Amino acid sequence: MWRASLPRGRLRTLFQTKVVRHASSSQPTGLSSRRMAGIAVGCLAAVSAGAIYDLTSRWVGRQDDEEWLEDWEEELADEAGVPPEIAASFVVARELRQASDPLVGTRHLIFVRHGQPSDGVEQLSEIGLQQAELTAVRLATQIKDVKYKELLPCCSAHATPSSKSSCCVRGGWQVIFHSSAEEAKATAKIIKKSLGKVALKESPLLAEGVPLVPSPAPEVLRELPAEALVGDMSRAEGALRTHLWRPAGGPESSAEVIVAHGNVIRYVICRALQLNPSAWSRFAAGHATISWLEIQSDGLVKLREFGGSGHLPLDIRTYT
């Protein structure tokens, strides 16, 4: 059993086969601070929630600025030492990735937090429906503007009609991923109406949860059972591996929508940008807001927008 395999006084990381000094040490050896996040995550199944907070505050919370990790995709692919129950989420991630086209030069990931849920039997409140519809309109307009100017350079105004028809087939919206929650399903369906013939793909990895005890952490999060945190973390890391991968390269670019929840969106974006993952709670994105990641074939990842709400009137902007 993975927990039983942890040597006393040492911690085995969840995603890399590494060891560090005991938690009482102020500075672990032999590891970059970026890998401390994995160490802290690996502790989840072995220590109490209070100890988890202490570890993330001590190690992850003191992350120094570092250079961009060029081989991030190889690191994500390294599953050495990952226990079977965690590796299962990576298997799901590989299956979900098949819905996306790798033969492009740039991938645009448009994360959308679901619209405001309803307190009753409906999936979305009246405000939530308005939010989703306005977000759908904005995405339809955005791809119309971006598709022919940025996503597909060969479809610019200078291209001939024949070249446009030959190069625009691959690009554009490819798939709408969404979590299993009713509010996410409803939001995704409304977006699909505006985007046309785009496949809907449900992903259990996008479920809401607490992927990592943040820093600073409210008392309620410090008291979460370690088992629950391990499940939430495994899904969030699976979601990361579903969507964060380098395109193979080419003249075309693609875009996909990911309708999910606030915590998982914030965590995945922090991980994608190689930021301290315990900082995810310091970001805030309201209902039906847009966060936009761009992944290039050379491995560069850019955040073009976070929590964009300009398409929503002030009187229908909600957070909780």
% of the chain exceeding 70 in pLDDT: 71
pTM over 0.85: no
- Tell me the pLDDT tens digit for each residue of 108-129: 999 999 999 998 878 999 999 9
> What is the β-pairing status of strands 253-260 and 172-178?
parallel
> Does the pLDDT of residue 152 top 80, yes or no?
no
- Tell me the pLDDT tens digit for each residue of 39-55: 343 344 333 444 444 43
Sheet (strand 172-178) strand order: 199-202, 172-178, 253-260, 106-113, 290-296, 301-308
Cβ burial, residue 314 (10 Å; 0-12/13-18/19+): exposed
Calculate mean pLDDT across residues 8-32: 32
- Tell me the pLDDT tens digit for each residue of 50-108: 444 443 443 343 445 578 999 999 989 988 878 787 889 999 999 999 998 888 899 99
Calculate mean pLDDT across residues 299-313: 97
CB atoms inside a 10 Å sphere around CB 172:
22
Domain positions in the chain: 90-208+245-316
Q: Assign a CATH topology to domain 90-208+245-316.
A: Rossmann fold (3.40.50)
CB atoms inside a 10 Å sphere around CB 84:
8
Q: How far is the C-alpha of 265 from the C-alpha of 161, rounded, in Å?
A: 39
Distances in Å between the Cα of 267 and the Cα atoms of 5, 16, 238, 252, 312 are: 28, 19, 12, 28, 24
Q: What is the DSSP letter of 124?
A: B
